Chain A
Amino acid sequence: MPAQRIRVRKSSRPPYRKVLIANRGEIAARVIRTCRRMGITSVAICSEADRGALHARIADEARLVGPAPSAQSYLNLEAILAAARQSGADAIHPGYGFLSENPEFAEACRRAGLVFIGPGPASMRKLGNKIQARRRMATAGVPVVPGLEKKGLQEKQVRDWARKAGYPILLKAAAGGGGRGMRIVRQSEEIGPALATARSEARTAFGDDTIFVERYLEPSRHIEVQVLVDSQGNGIALGERECSLQRRHQKLVEETPSPVVTEVTRRKLERWALSACRAAGYTNAGTVEFIRDAEGRFYFLEINARLQVEHPVTEMVMGIDLVEAQIRIAAGEPLSMPRKGLRPRGWALECRIQAEDSENRFRPSPGRIRLYRPPEGPRIRVDSGVAEGDEVSLFYDSLLAKLIVWGRDRESAIRTMAGSLAEFRILGVATTLPFHRRVMADGEFQRGEIDTGYVERLLNREPPELDDELEAVAMVAALHLRQRGERPLTSGSSSSGAWTLSGRHGQQMRGGFRNPWGQS
């Protein structure tokens, strides 16, 4: 809820005339809308598959940058810079994913005379190497997960270290990201082979096979802190986000504040987050990720040098627009600090609605969206990347929309979310709506007992039975639809003519056809 005013000093003129958004989907649409509000002309880029996509439709201009595969379009540095040049853009907003954390891109923008709306390439590079980042944080007094970093790490060194530190342990690529070059090891015999595969994966993926080891904390919580740092070096932390509800390292539900973070802990995490940013020379919006072990100890994990998917929950409780803040910071405007600091108001939740069949092991489900009916009401925000009639392509990420709600407290936010999820209807592709509805109704979630093992526990439980009333509704709907269907439902039915009727639409039947059900 817009409870507090933007704390970035407002100037009457927009800092830029024209911004190119180097992304697609919901995040491109969301950035375009902030540009519009600020009076900045927006330029979208699109692949051949996205010519008619929502972000290309709502932008002031759209430029084609290549064929459907991302490598040739949304990751095509030259084509994107050419589009920026041709459109006369002053700045580029990278969104998240794609080129957002690529220092070469940030640098190429600078060389081309364009402002890159994000951190500088130097701090991106500093954070890109995880061993270096760990050392920097340790020096800055931010706790890191106990680990072992040595050049040319040998199997025996790992075994000796693990004997003292305890299993499970996690092998990680220094240049890593996206789960590649990462291996969990639960006993000493696995170290040799795991080290070999992690190395070869890291070499192929990043061209650098340096591996380090950390204790693997499970179950754990992932809690991150949003920060803003201006180019004058003033930083503010905007509270935490709880992101533990994950499946295979993919976040599904996020919220702020975290049910386990007290005011004292929040202050500590915010202080650490700002120290971490200072240690990396970081500017603009960033997220400092922490892991919390079962004993409640927090450790630095990494800094995400971009806007996060889940940034809207912070916007809801802080009453600010983080994209506007990013744009103003990139233009050199200083942050104006409120005297008492920013404090969150109420509670915000976000559900990621994806084109994945959550009833079927989250199988991807591309296709045409035949019906798209988002929920409405106060305290409800939907950041959609698609609209009715759009094609969900198999070339890109499956995120369709983010549903974000605000409540006075966690309970009311959950109630609003449950109701909004029930109103939200999407047909044509299978979605994760059923999963989110189940989460909101789940006792463990309602009590805030979420950690990285939660989704697996939930999916291993039998789904609650359909109550009598819903079952009756489903039956009436099914029989009604089958009866008016064009095709015979089943072949060879002899018990009733009703089931072999074809070519009868409900409309026609209501228009005076004899009721095929008769009076049995």
Chain B
Amino acid sequence: MSLEVRIGGRNRRVDLRRDGDRYRGRVGKRSVEAEVTERGPYSLLIRLGKRTFDVTFDEAGTTLLLDLGSRQVAVEIMDPLKGAAEGTGIGMGRGRREVRASMPGKVVAVKVKVGDEVDKGQGLIILEAMKMENEVASPCQGKVVELEVTPGQTVETGSLLAAVE
């Protein structure tokens, strides 16, 4: 099984075969033989050579967040047909792009109106959580076609904030 995997912002070719709890094959140029033991809902042990790695993991959309101990990495397995993973925080519809909250928080300011022309990266909304303010930026250049929030409102992760077309 040969796959393209995105790890730490770079693409890597992986060629691994499974046999029971063992995996054999290649990661990049390295030849790999590993044994996997599952331990509960968030933890794996991976034995590679002389070392055993305690890997804890979490999911965010199609991205896997792995804690390897000395490092944390985000890993995404690429869709072999589209060449890109799906399901980011931003709506993928053609033309109209949805802006969703990437964290829960309180809307402290809305910096644009429906109908405003905005640039990619321009601040649309300011969200506050844990005594910190964070600007939510426009994912693209276009016109603000929807504004779903008003200052003072509380939003959850994934709440629709605005749409830009």
Given that A422-B69, A473-B34, A479-B3 are contacting pairs, would A490 and B77 also be in contact in the complex, using a CB cutoff of 8 Å?
Answer: yes
* A476 lies within 8 A of B130 (CB): no
* B46 lies within 8 A of A428 (CB): no
* B58 lies within 8 A of A427 (CB): yes
A contact residues, total (Cβ < 8 Å): 63
Instruction: Report A-chain residues with C-beta under 8 Å of the C-beta of B7.
Output: 466, 471, 474-475, 478
* B71 lies within 8 A of A366 (CB): no
Instruction: Report B-chain residues with C-beta under 8 Å of the C-beta of A398.
Output: 130-132
What sequence of 0s and 1s flags, for each residue 471-508 of chain A, a beta carbon within 8 Å of any chain B beta carbon? 11111111111110000011111111011000000110
B64 at the interface (CB under 8 A from A): yes
Cβ-closest chain B residue relative to A507: B38
Cβ-closest chain B residue relative to A516: B18
* A468 lies within 8 A of B44 (CB): no
What 14 additional pairs, Cβ within 8 angstroms, besides A394-B130, A466-B71, A476-B27?
A: A356-B130, A363-B134, A366-B103, A394-B103, A398-B132, A418-B70, A427-B58, A466-B8, A470-B73, A474-B73, A481-B57, A489-B62, A491-B79, A494-B81
B159 at the interface (CB under 8 A from A): no
A470, A477, A496, A517 pick with most chain B CB within 10 angstroms:
A477
Given that A492-B79, A506-B38 are contacting pairs, would A469 and B49 also be in contact in the complex, using a CB cutoff of 8 Å?
Answer: yes
A162 at the interface (CB under 8 A from B): no
A48 at the interface (CB under 8 A from B): no
Which residues of B, 49-96, contact A by the 8 Å Cβ criterion? 49, 51, 53-58, 62, 64, 66-75, 77-82, 85-86
Given that A476-B48, A478-B66, A492-B81 are contacting pairs, would A434 and B71 also be in contact in the complex, using a CB cutoff of 8 Å?
Answer: yes
Instruction: Report A-chain residues with C-beta under 8 Å of the C-beta of B70.
Output: 418, 422, 437, 441, 470
* A475 lies within 8 A of B12 (CB): yes
* A481 lies within 8 A of B103 (CB): no
* B56 lies within 8 A of A427 (CB): yes
* A479 lies within 8 A of B16 (CB): yes
B113 at the interface (CB under 8 A from A): no
* B28 lies within 8 A of A471 (CB): yes
* A364 lies within 8 A of B8 (CB): no
* A472 lies within 8 A of B77 (CB): no
Instruction: Report A-chain residues with C-beta under 8 Å of the C-beta of B32.
Output: 472, 475-476
* B80 lies within 8 A of A493 (CB): yes
A418, A469, A495 pick with most chain B CB within 10 angstroms:
A469
Given that A428-B58, A471-B27 are contacting pairs, would A493 and B79 also be in contact in the complex, using a CB cutoff of 8 Å?
Answer: yes
For the complex of A and B, 10 pairs with smallest distance between CB atoms: A394-B129, A490-B79, A422-B69, A517-B18, A364-B130, A364-B129, A478-B75, A398-B130, A476-B34, A425-B56
Cβ-closest chain B residue relative to A476: B34
* A472 lies within 8 A of B104 (CB): no
* B30 lies within 8 A of A468 (CB): yes
Cβ-closest chain A residue relative to B62: A489
* A473 lies within 8 A of B103 (CB): no
A78 at the interface (CB under 8 A from B): no
* A477 lies within 8 A of B14 (CB): no
Instruction: Report A-chain residues with C-beta under 8 Å of the C-beta of B36.
Output: 476-477, 480
* A490 lies within 8 A of B80 (CB): yes
Instruction: Report A-chain residues with C-beta under 8 Å of the C-beta of B97.
Output: none
Instruction: Report A-chain residues with C-beta under 8 Å of the C-beta of B30.
Output: 468, 471-472
Which residues of B, 9-54, contact A by the 8 Å Cβ criterion? 12, 14, 16-21, 23, 27-28, 30, 32, 34, 36, 38, 42-44, 46, 48-49, 51, 53-54
Cβ-closest chain A residue relative to B133: A364
* B34 lies within 8 A of A472 (CB): yes
Instruction: Report A-chain residues with C-beta under 8 Å of the C-beta of B78.
Output: 490
A356 to B80, CA, bound (A): 33
Cβ-closest chain B residue relative to A482: B77
Query: Contact check: which of B68, B73, B103 meets A363 at CB < 8 Å?
Result: B103
A selection of 23 A-B contacts at a CB cut-off of 8 Å is A355-B130, A362-B132, A366-B129, A394-B105, A394-B129, A398-B130, A422-B69, A441-B70, A472-B30, A474-B55, A475-B7, A476-B32, A477-B36, A477-B46, A479-B1, A479-B16, A489-B62, A494-B80, A498-B1, A506-B38, A515-B19, A517-B17, A520-B17
